[in-house]
Amino acid sequence: MERIKIAVQKSGRLLDGSLDILKECGIKVPKAQGQLKASVENFPLDLLFLRNSDIPQYVEDGVADIAIIGENILVEQEPDVKTEMKLGFSKCKVSLAAPKNSNINSVKDFQGKKIATSYPVTLKKYLKQQNIEAEIHTISGSVEIAPTIGLAEGICDIVSTGNTLFMNGLREVDVMLRSEAVLISNSELSDEKRAVLNKLIFRIQSVLSAKNSKYVLLNAPESQLGEITDILPGIKSPTVIPLAQEGWISIHSVINEEKFWENIDALKDAGAEGILIVPIEKMVK
């Protein structure tokens, strides 16, 4: 089977999440501290450790077949690559921010102002959508200091927790883009490499489905089966097992993490008892 090359961030917030999800897929990621390349023994995969900003171009050029990268980098660089799937980690925002004591309270207030950013393409597109004309100062690193030194009246930058803004006397004014890690691929993969990628995607989907779901077991009167199964659709339909006590059944199913407590409340109202919630390691559909 032909091997594929995956580019991951050399260091930074995306690296740990990228390696973790590969490990959860059963891929034995070798220790490669300080190395630029590492080979996996139990899956046809080679890892390339690259600078974050270089990754999209490497994938577009075919040096790397696939990569894990933040959506914000794709929006800024606009490479000719295919986005395969969102991965659900390294979530952040690209936001406009201004000094706490300024009179800038919305994107409209940036009309005619100066904005410092490391994301000029993203910012320019957003301002155009909002019909705002502003002067963009492109700088790399330490964007938050720009208002303090008089370079700009506001900034456009990545916001994760908001702590950096707070420490620099800034506040978020507007969210331009919500980003998370995504899996991308070269747009001209061979059939052999696409087959390997599909196997990897299948594993990742199984891991993500398990993260977003819980296995639920409960007891209920048999007369309430219809109402409870309406709440618990499961993957196809719930598993129903008769109990020793006549008129009672045990129901096993899967519920989505996003609607977890809503479903639990509804189950209790429908007569469910002894509800047991079990985490799922993998979920293969």
Tell me whether residue 285 is in a domain.
Answer: no
Would you tell me how many other CB atoms lie within 10 Å of the CB of residue 282?
A: 13
pLDDT mean over 166-190: 95
Whether residue 116 is predicted with pLDDT greater than 90 in this model: the reply is yes
Residues 192 and 231 placed together within one structural domain of the fold: no
What are 18-71's pLDDT values in tens digits? 999 999 999 998 876 667 899 999 999 999 999 999 999 999 999 999 999 999
Burial call 130-145: b when 16+ CB within 10 Å, e when fewer: bebebebeeeeeebbe
Tell me whether residue 284 is in a domain.
Answer: no
| Angle at the Cα of 213 from the Cα atoms of 208 and 217, rounded to 5 degrees | 150
Residues 22 and 76 placed together within one structural domain of the fold: yes
Residues 160 and 203 placed together within one structural domain of the fold: no
Q: Is 80 helix (H, G, I), strand (E, B) or coil?
A: coil
Burial call 199-216: b when 16+ CB within 10 Å, e when fewer: bbbebbebbbbbbebbbb
Which pLDDT band, with edges at 50, 70 and 90, does 263 fall under?
A: confident
CATH number of the domain within which 86 lies? 3.40.190.10
Range of the domain at 273: 214-279
How many domains, in total, are found in the chain? 3
Least trusted range by pLDDT, from 122-126, 133-137, 165-169: 165-169
**What percent of the chain is predicted at pLDDT more than 70?**
98
Q: Tokens 């020793």 — which residue?
A: 244
pLDDT mean over 196-223: 91
Residues 73 and 107 placed together within one structural domain of the fold: no
